[in-house]
């Protein structure tokens, strides 16, 4: 999905909601555990209940890889279901946080972007920038695909490195990532992760990257504020994908889980519509 299609999708749905499909069999409703593929069945119902409200879905690959072949099959079925049933209706993100030397990154990129190789056909993948340009470039070689580069994350440990200040430039590490990576891609194939719990930094970040999209996790269960994210992070094209995972998909553990998930998504979507 290209940038103009993503912007059109946001405007049509009056939403910049991304729903994280961090599906854990220990947390899904017990009545689904008898299904042939409980993880896929749960995902399918959540997607059907929220497709008109969300502009993106973001499976965290760790929740699938931990189940080996069965988990990979659940993930493949989930993405194929989205692409076949709701083509053009939603943006898909592989939350994989990959990052390795060039030849390895090429294989990671094929895993999420090449359906002939892996069966998966995501629109975007999260990538860690620590190993530099040659670890990121292979992901950018796929036309129409996006890299979402980790910049300033929402976890407590992010301060260990991301807030360190360079004695030479006086920039913090996350700012160095933003500045250096601008030459690697464009605003049409590269986004950045900025945690909602760091919303006060969004204004500074927008001074460095005014036109790029930001993927913002941490709203909801992690305590991030949608109002603050919108206040400091919106640009002329919206420029935001705000993710909520647990707060939506685990709104209920009963047979009404889809209804409750939709209600939580509606609440966020209405707030987003008002902002837009």
Q: What is the pLDDT of residue 244?
A: 93
Which range of residues forms the domain containing residue 138? 3-275
How far is CA 18 from each of CA 33, 65, 107, 169, 246, rounded to the nearest angstrom? 26, 21, 26, 35, 12
Over the stretch 101-146, which tens digit does the pLDDT of each residue have?
A: 989 999 999 999 999 999 999 999 999 999 999 999 999 999 999 9
**Smallest Cα–Cα separation from 209: which of 242, 243, 225, 186?**
186
Over the stretch 203-246, which tens digit does the pLDDT of each residue have?
A: 889 999 999 999 998 776 556 688 889 999 999 999 999 999 99
- 189: domain CATH number is 3.20.20.70
The active-site residue out of 3, 13, 27, 97 is 97
Does the global pTM surpass 0.85? yes
| Statement: residue 15 has pLDDT above 80 | yes
Q: What is the pLDDT of residue 100?
A: 93
Cα separation, 260 vs 262, in Å, equals 5
237 burial (CB, 10 Å; 0-12 / 13-18 / 19+) is middle
Asked whether 133 and 143 are in contact (CB, 8 A), the reply is no
* Number of structural domains the chain divides into: 1
β-bridge partners, 17: 242
- CB burial of 185-198 (b: ≥16 within 10 Å; e: otherwise) equals bebebbbbbbbbbb
| % of the chain residues with pLDDT over 70 | 98
User: Is 97 known to be catalytic?
Assistant: yes
Asked whether 86 and 51 are in contact (CB, 8 A), the reply is yes
| Statement: residue 196 has pLDDT above 90 | no
């Amino acid at each position: 999905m290209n940038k103009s299609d993503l912007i059109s999708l946001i405007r049509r749905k009056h939403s910049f909601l991304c729903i994280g499909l961090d599906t854990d069999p220990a947390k899904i409703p017990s009545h689904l555990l008898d299904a042939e593929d409980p993880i896929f069945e749960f995902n399918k119902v959540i997607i059907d209940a929220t497709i008109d409200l969300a502009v993106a879905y973001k499976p965290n690959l760790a929740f699938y890889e931990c189940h080996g072949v069965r988990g990979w099959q659940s993930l493949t079925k989930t993405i194929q279901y989205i692409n076949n049933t709701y083509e053009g209706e939603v943006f898909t993100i592989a939350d994989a946080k990959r990052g390795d030397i060039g030849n390895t990154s090429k294989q990671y990129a094929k895993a999420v972007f090449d359906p002939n190789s892996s069966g998966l056909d995501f629109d975007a993948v999260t990538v860690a920038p620590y190993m530099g340009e040659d670890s990121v470039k292979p992901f950018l070689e796929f036309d129409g695909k996006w890299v979402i580069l980790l910049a300033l994350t929402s976890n407590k440990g992010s301060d260990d490195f991301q807030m360190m200040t360079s004695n030479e430039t006086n920039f913090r590490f996350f700012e160095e990532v933003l500045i250096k990576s601008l030459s690697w891609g464009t605003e049409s194939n590269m986004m950045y992760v900025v945690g909602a719990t760091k919303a006060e930094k969004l204004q500074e970040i927008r001074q460095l990257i005014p036109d790029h999209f930001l993927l913002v996790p941490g709203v909801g269960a992690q305590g991030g504020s949608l109002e603050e994210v919108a206040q400091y992070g919106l640009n002329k094209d919206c420029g935001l994908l705000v993710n909520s995972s647990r707060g939506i998909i685990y709104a209920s553990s009963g047979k009404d889980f889809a209804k409750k998930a939709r209600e939580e998504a509606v609440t966020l979507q209405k707030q987003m519509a008002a902002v837009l």
